[in-house]
Amino acid sequence: MNKKWVAKRLTINLTSSEAKKLENYCSITGRPATDVIRELIRTFEFHSTHSPLQPVSK
């Protein structure tokens, strides 16, 4: 099954420390940064009873 992607390009500013962390993680896992960031975004959970700016605690 092929996914049809509607692309939205996103530019983010990272500190050198954050960029290095991401690069190291990608190097260790062999995954591209795009996939890592996309997966992190998918883990966000919000409920209507919480402020949209505060993630739900697990």
Taking alpha carbons only, the member of 54, 14, 5, 55 closest to residue 37 is 14
Q: What is the pLDDT of residue 34?
A: 95
Taking alpha carbons only, the member of 17, 46, 53, 23 closest to residue 36 is 23
Each of the 58 residues of the chain gets a pLDDT tens digit; together they read 566 777 888 999 999 999 999 999 999 999 999 999 999 999 987 766 666 665 555 5
pTM confidence score: 0.65
Q: What is the pLDDT of residue 6?
A: 77
Q: What is the pLDDT of residue 44?
A: 85
